[in-house]
Protein backbone atom coordinates (compact mmCIF):
# COMPACT_ATOMS: atom_id res chain seq x y z
CA UNK A 1 0.00 0.00 0.00
CA UNK A 2 1.33 3.44 -0.92
CA UNK A 3 2.18 5.84 1.87
CA UNK A 4 -0.81 7.91 2.92
CA UNK A 5 -0.79 11.64 3.49
CA UNK A 6 -2.82 12.11 6.67
CA UNK A 7 -1.89 15.72 7.26
CA UNK A 8 -5.33 17.24 6.57
CA UNK A 9 -8.62 17.05 8.44
CA UNK A 10 -10.28 15.49 5.39
CA UNK A 11 -7.76 12.66 5.03
CA UNK A 12 -7.73 11.98 8.76
CA UNK A 13 -11.54 11.75 8.84
CA UNK A 14 -11.46 9.48 5.79
CA UNK A 15 -8.94 7.25 7.53
CA UNK A 16 -11.07 7.30 10.67
CA UNK A 17 -14.10 6.09 8.72
CA UNK A 18 -12.04 3.15 7.49
CA UNK A 19 -10.83 2.45 11.02
CA UNK A 20 -14.40 2.38 12.32
CA UNK A 21 -15.52 -0.02 9.61
CA UNK A 22 -12.46 -2.20 10.17
CA UNK A 23 -13.08 -2.25 13.91
CA UNK A 24 -16.66 -3.38 13.41
CA UNK A 25 -15.54 -6.21 11.14
CA UNK A 26 -12.77 -7.19 13.55
CA UNK A 27 -15.07 -7.33 16.57
CA UNK A 28 -17.88 -9.20 14.81
CA UNK A 29 -16.38 -10.79 11.70
CA UNK A 30 -18.61 -12.81 9.37
CA UNK A 31 -17.17 -16.31 8.82
CA UNK A 32 -14.48 -16.24 6.14
CA UNK A 33 -14.65 -12.47 5.63
CA UNK A 34 -12.25 -11.31 2.90
CA UNK A 35 -10.62 -7.92 3.36
CA UNK A 36 -9.85 -7.75 -0.36
CA UNK A 37 -13.51 -8.30 -1.22
CA UNK A 38 -14.61 -5.75 1.39
CA UNK A 39 -12.26 -3.14 -0.08
CA UNK A 40 -13.43 -3.96 -3.62
CA UNK A 41 -17.08 -3.56 -2.64
CA UNK A 42 -16.32 -0.31 -0.84
CA UNK A 43 -14.42 1.09 -3.82
CA UNK A 44 -17.05 0.00 -6.35
CA UNK A 45 -19.89 1.55 -4.36
CA UNK A 46 -17.95 4.75 -3.68
CA UNK A 47 -17.07 5.24 -7.35
CA UNK A 48 -20.54 4.32 -8.61
CA UNK A 49 -19.61 1.09 -10.40
CA UNK A 50 -22.15 -1.65 -10.96
CA UNK A 51 -22.16 -4.43 -8.40
CA UNK A 52 -20.13 -7.47 -9.42
CA UNK A 53 -22.70 -9.70 -7.66
CA UNK A 54 -26.45 -9.69 -8.31
CA UNK A 55 -28.91 -8.72 -5.59
CA UNK A 56 -30.31 -12.26 -5.61
CA UNK A 57 -26.84 -13.75 -5.10
CA UNK A 58 -26.07 -11.26 -2.34
CA UNK A 59 -29.34 -11.98 -0.55
CA UNK A 60 -28.79 -15.75 -0.72
CA UNK A 61 -25.19 -15.48 0.49
CA UNK A 62 -26.12 -13.14 3.33
CA UNK A 63 -28.72 -15.68 4.47
CA UNK A 64 -26.18 -18.52 4.42
CA UNK A 65 -23.66 -16.55 6.47
CA UNK A 66 -26.34 -15.24 8.84
CA UNK A 67 -27.51 -18.80 9.50
CA UNK A 68 -23.91 -19.89 10.18
CA UNK A 69 -23.37 -17.00 12.59
CA UNK A 70 -26.62 -17.74 14.42
CA UNK A 71 -25.68 -21.41 14.75
CA UNK A 72 -22.24 -20.48 16.08
CA UNK A 73 -23.75 -18.01 18.56
CA UNK A 74 -26.24 -20.65 19.76
CA UNK A 75 -23.46 -23.20 20.25
CA UNK A 76 -21.37 -20.70 22.21
CA UNK A 77 -24.35 -19.75 24.37
CA UNK A 78 -25.14 -23.39 25.14
CA UNK A 79 -21.50 -24.06 26.01
CA UNK A 80 -21.41 -21.00 28.28
CA UNK A 81 -24.61 -22.07 30.01
CA UNK A 82 -23.21 -25.55 30.62
CA UNK A 83 -19.91 -24.20 31.90
CA UNK A 84 -21.74 -21.85 34.25
CA UNK A 85 -23.90 -24.61 35.71
CA UNK A 86 -20.87 -26.85 36.22
CA UNK A 87 -18.96 -24.02 37.90
CA UNK A 88 -21.81 -23.26 40.31
CA UNK A 89 -22.30 -26.94 41.14
CA UNK A 90 -18.64 -27.34 42.09
CA UNK A 91 -18.46 -23.98 43.83
CA UNK A 92 -21.44 -24.87 46.03
CA UNK A 93 -19.39 -27.71 47.56
CA UNK A 94 -16.68 -25.39 48.87
CA UNK A 95 -16.47 -24.59 52.56
CA UNK A 96 -17.84 -21.17 53.41
CA UNK A 97 -20.19 -20.95 50.44
CA UNK A 98 -23.84 -20.15 51.14
CA UNK A 99 -26.39 -21.09 48.47
CA UNK A 100 -29.71 -19.22 48.52
CA UNK A 101 -33.02 -20.52 47.18
CA UNK A 102 -32.70 -18.24 44.15
CA UNK A 103 -29.44 -19.94 43.18
CA UNK A 104 -27.28 -17.01 44.27
CA UNK A 105 -24.08 -18.11 46.03
CA UNK A 106 -21.89 -16.02 48.30
CA UNK A 107 -19.05 -16.16 50.75
CA UNK A 108 -18.39 -13.60 53.47
CA UNK A 109 -14.94 -12.04 53.21
CA UNK A 110 -15.57 -9.39 55.87
CA UNK A 111 -18.62 -9.32 58.15
CA UNK A 112 -19.85 -5.78 58.71
CA UNK A 113 -21.89 -4.89 61.78
CA UNK A 114 -23.72 -1.91 60.27
CA UNK A 115 -27.30 -1.55 59.12
CA UNK A 116 -28.66 -3.52 56.18
CA UNK A 117 -30.20 -1.61 53.28
CA UNK A 118 -33.72 -2.16 51.98
CA UNK A 119 -34.72 -2.43 48.36
CA UNK A 120 -35.80 1.23 48.45
CA UNK A 121 -32.42 2.48 49.71
CA UNK A 122 -29.48 3.71 47.69
CA UNK A 123 -25.99 2.54 48.59
CA UNK A 124 -22.34 3.31 48.04
CA UNK A 125 -20.19 0.31 47.14
CA UNK A 126 -16.86 -0.78 45.82
CA UNK A 127 -16.89 -3.84 43.57
CA UNK A 128 -14.80 -5.94 41.22
CA UNK A 129 -16.57 -8.08 38.61
CA UNK A 130 -15.17 -10.99 36.62
CA UNK A 131 -16.33 -13.87 34.48
CA UNK A 132 -15.64 -17.39 35.74
CA UNK A 133 -12.42 -17.46 33.70
CA UNK A 134 -11.15 -14.45 35.65
CA UNK A 135 -11.67 -11.88 32.90
CA UNK A 136 -12.46 -8.49 34.45
CA UNK A 137 -15.49 -6.74 32.92
CA UNK A 138 -16.01 -3.94 35.47
CA UNK A 139 -14.31 -2.69 38.62
CA UNK A 140 -14.90 0.41 40.72
CA UNK A 141 -11.61 -0.40 42.46
CA UNK A 142 -9.75 -0.05 39.17
CA UNK A 143 -11.53 3.24 38.47
CA UNK A 144 -10.63 4.45 41.95
CA UNK A 145 -14.19 5.67 42.57
CA UNK A 146 -16.98 3.96 44.56
CA UNK A 147 -20.31 3.45 42.81
CA UNK A 148 -23.66 4.73 44.07
CA UNK A 149 -27.00 3.27 42.95
CA UNK A 150 -30.45 2.20 44.20
CA UNK A 151 -30.56 -1.31 45.63
CA UNK A 152 -33.56 -2.12 43.45
CA UNK A 153 -31.94 -0.72 40.32
CA UNK A 154 -29.24 -3.32 39.70
CA UNK A 155 -29.15 -6.97 38.62
CA UNK A 156 -31.34 -9.29 40.68
CA UNK A 157 -28.38 -11.07 42.26
CA UNK A 158 -27.04 -7.80 43.63
CA UNK A 159 -30.45 -6.63 44.85
CA UNK A 160 -30.87 -9.85 46.82
CA UNK A 161 -27.37 -9.88 48.27
CA UNK A 162 -27.20 -6.22 49.28
CA UNK A 163 -30.28 -6.55 51.48
CA UNK A 164 -28.50 -9.30 53.43
CA UNK A 165 -25.25 -7.39 53.91
CA UNK A 166 -24.50 -5.21 56.90
CA UNK A 167 -22.73 -1.96 56.15
CA UNK A 168 -19.00 -2.56 56.26
CA UNK A 169 -19.36 -6.07 54.82
CA UNK A 170 -17.41 -7.42 51.90
CA UNK A 171 -18.82 -10.47 50.15
CA UNK A 172 -17.91 -12.48 47.10
CA UNK A 173 -21.00 -13.16 45.01
CA UNK A 174 -21.43 -15.93 42.46
CA UNK A 175 -24.37 -14.79 40.36
CA UNK A 176 -26.17 -17.25 38.03
CA UNK A 177 -26.89 -15.81 34.61
CA UNK A 178 -30.64 -15.72 35.26
CA UNK A 179 -29.95 -13.32 38.15
CA UNK A 180 -27.65 -11.22 35.97
CA UNK A 181 -27.92 -10.58 32.22
CA UNK A 182 -29.30 -13.95 31.11
CA UNK A 183 -29.44 -14.96 27.47
CA UNK A 184 -28.82 -11.44 26.19
CA UNK A 185 -25.49 -10.62 27.80
CA UNK A 186 -24.31 -7.02 27.77
CA UNK A 187 -21.14 -5.31 26.61
CA UNK A 188 -18.19 -7.63 27.21
CA UNK A 189 -20.37 -10.08 29.17
CA UNK A 190 -21.39 -13.00 26.91
CA UNK A 191 -24.88 -14.55 27.06
CA UNK A 192 -25.53 -17.03 29.88
CA UNK A 193 -22.50 -15.86 31.89
CA UNK A 194 -22.12 -16.59 35.59
CA UNK A 195 -20.67 -13.45 37.18
CA UNK A 196 -18.31 -13.25 40.15
CA UNK A 197 -18.28 -10.05 42.19
CA UNK A 198 -16.35 -8.87 45.20
CA UNK A 199 -18.78 -6.36 46.72
CA UNK A 200 -17.97 -4.01 49.59
CA UNK A 201 -20.95 -2.19 51.12
CA UNK A 202 -19.53 1.16 52.20
CA UNK A 203 -22.62 3.13 53.17
CA UNK A 204 -26.38 3.48 52.94
CA UNK A 205 -27.23 6.87 51.43
pLDDT at residue 2, as a whole number: 63
Judge whether 65 counts as a catalytic residue: no
CA 126 to chain centroid: 19
Q: pLDDT, tens digit, for every residue of 79-97?
A: 989 999 999 999 999 999 9
Judge whether 203 counts as a catalytic residue: no
**Residue from 65, 121, 132, 138 carrying the catalytic annotation:** 138
Judge whether 87 counts as a catalytic residue: no
**Residue from 155, 198, 203, 204 carrying the catalytic annotation:** 155
Q: pLDDT, tens digit, for every residue of 126-150?
A: 999 999 999 999 999 999 999 999 9
- Per-residue pLDDT, averaged over 118-124, amounts to 97
Q: pLDDT, tens digit, for every residue of 30-60?
A: 888 999 999 999 999 999 999 999 999 999 9
Judge whether 141 counts as a catalytic residue: no
Query: Does pLDDT of 1 surpass 60?
Result: no
Enumerate the β-bridge partners of residue 123: 149, 204
- Per-residue pLDDT, averaged over 152-159, amounts to 97
**Residue from 87, 106, 127, 174 carrying the catalytic annotation:** 127
The β-bridge relationship of strands 147-150 and 195-204 is unpaired
The pTM for the full model equals 0.74
Q: Which of 203, 159, 149 is nearest to 180 (CA)?
A: 159
Amino acid sequence: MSELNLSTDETRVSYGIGRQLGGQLRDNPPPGVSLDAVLAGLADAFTGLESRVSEAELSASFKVIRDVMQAEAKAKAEAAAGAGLAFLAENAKREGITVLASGLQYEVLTAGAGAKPSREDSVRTHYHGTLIDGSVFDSSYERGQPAEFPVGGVIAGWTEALQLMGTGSKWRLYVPSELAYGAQGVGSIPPHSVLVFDVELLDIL
